[in-house]
Structure 1
């Protein structure tokens, strides 16, 4: 990703804000700017996270099946912003270990997580991305972003991680 030429503004950790047992979510985190009117009416009531089958995307000899899956992926990305990926070839034990190691990271005290704080010039690290103004609406989430592959794109912060998370 290299250098990000943006004015970086530091914001508090959402996890730390949540520990304060707030009565209301700070207005900076309340998103009223989302327009859901473009979602097809029959999909508005669907509360299921979109599920994308990787095998249908990459190994299907049937173009109709592949196109159907591509359309589902397009819809998920455009209207949900995320999806569940199945049949990706990563063993469930590896996925569970990654979830466990990630939870261990988020369970660290804030002072420890700040050792991995992202710099204003790079996306990698702990903290919000693309915060450019004090009025900007933010996601109610803390982020820990790392590029892991290819290895030459890894930032120095990667080597500072405890071995089991690397």
Structure 2
């Protein structure tokens, strides 16, 4: 992550402030934010049964009586959806609620107060935006605060808000409480395909974790904008927390977009590019995006789990039991540099690493 942290993004207008001027009856959205593709593809909502994103119960994974059956569900979720909602995850409700409250309060601060934590040139961390590389590039309707949270000695406290006063403490507690949960998930992901837990734990345990806190302002012309462009996550695993009760996450499956109805108290977990490659395609990194509500703000936070920096990214032997390797090898640092030096392009970057069969 050291080299990646020096990658910057061109400065763009603050969207939260922009939304305040664009939501009048006569105001027009700036051309750079208009996304004609936003309504071109079919969106499926209010689906049930086999069409619903799987729900995984951590208590059942941990119980000897139900672990095997729940592992089968976990494998299916990661193979066919790339996403699942995790319930009974064990992270204390008080820790989550304190963190939620602090994030909401931070994004409610005056713009000048938030700008104290603005990204610096050639810096990924801080308040602002990412993946902006040209002056005519289409832009997302959202702001973010990105922080490196683990290891603790890698934290750049210049970007850690001191308002609200409890922000740093609540973020630290949230990071600590989710650490063991994430390692538990890596362990069960390996078990789900008959691999040794150490095959993944050895790559992700005690490795960097970053957090992106997202703020999506409302837009009365919400059908013309996108909160976060279609993309896959470059990491191993992402833990998404819906901070308020406004939905907006959509995932792509079979050429259609599926709206995710986040369960109260659950984490939304998704597979990243790194884990798809390491698993030789047994787990899928799925394209997803964030859409905008016409009159309500949406806030979420994503915790990203990175592998060790010196990793040669290629399918692990434990996941290549038929002898057929499906992805070319690439150093993880090169893979990350490609990711952060290009605009979001769905799954294209990942597809280019696939070997012809």
The answer to whether the superposition gives a TM-score over 0.5 is yes
Q: Which has the higher contact order (CA 8 A, sep 6+)?
A: 1
Q: What runs of 5+ residues in structure 2 fail to find an aligned partner?
A: 169-357
Q: Is the 8 A contact 1:6 1:130 kept in 2?
A: no
Q: Report the secondary structure of 1:90's partner residue.
A: coil
User: Secondary structure of 1:116's match?
Assistant: coil
1:96-117 deviation line (CA, Å, top 9, x unaligned): 1111111111111111111101
Matched-pair contact (CA < 8 Å) for 2:106–2:114: yes
**Deviation at residue 84 of structure 1 after TM alignment:** 4.9
Provide the residue aligned with 1:40 in structure 2: none
Asked if structure 1 preserves the Cα contact closer than 8 Å seen for 2:61 and 2:68, the reply is no
Q: After the TM superposition, which segments of 4 or more aligned residues of structure 1 sit over 6 Å from their partners?
A: none
Paired with 2:100 and 2:21, the residues of 1 have a C-alpha distance of 25
Who is 2:34 aligned against?
30
Do the aligned partners of 1:117 and 1:126 also contact (CA within 8 Å) in 2? yes
Change (3 A) 1:88 1:25: farther
Query: Displacement, 1:86?
Result: 2.8
Residue segments in structure 1 that go unaligned for 5+ positions in a row: 38-42, 78-82
- Indicate how the Cα distance of structure 1 residues 160 and 76 shifts in structure 2: closer, same or farther if over 3 A, else same: same
SS for the counterpart of 1:148 is strand
- 2:166 is aligned with 1:164: yes
Q: How many residues align?
A: 156
Q: How far 1:140 sits from its partner (Å)?
A: 1.2
Distance 1:103 1:145 in 2: 15
**For 1:47 and 1:135, how far apart are their aligned partners in 2?**
38
Counterparts of 1:6-155 in structure 2, within 5 Å, are: 6=7, 8-22=9-23, 23-33=27-37, 36=41, 44-46=44-46, 50=53, 52-53=55-56, 55=58, 59=62, 62-73=67-78, 75=81, 77=83, 84-155=85-156
More strand by share: 2
Task: Verify the 8 A CA contact 1:3 1:121 in the aligned structure 2.
Answer: no
- Match of 2:19, SS state, is helix
Give, in angstroms, the shift of residue 130 of structure 1: 1.7
Q: C-alpha deviations, 1:134-160, integer Å up to 9, x for none?
A: 222222111011122220221232555
CA separation of 1:105 and 1:89: change in aligned 2, threshold 3 A: same
RMSD over aligned Cα atoms: 3.4
Structure 2 contact 8–123 (Cα < 8 Å) conserved: no
Post-superposition shift, 1:21?
A: 3.5
Relative to the length of structure 1, the TM-score reads 0.72
- For the 8 Å contact 2:34–2:138, the answer to whether it is kept is yes
- State how far apart, in whole Å, the 2-side matches of 1:53 and 1:120 are: 41
Under a length normalisation based on structure 2, what TM-score does the superposition of the two structures give?
Answer: 0.37
CA distance in 2, matches of 1:152, 1:57: 35
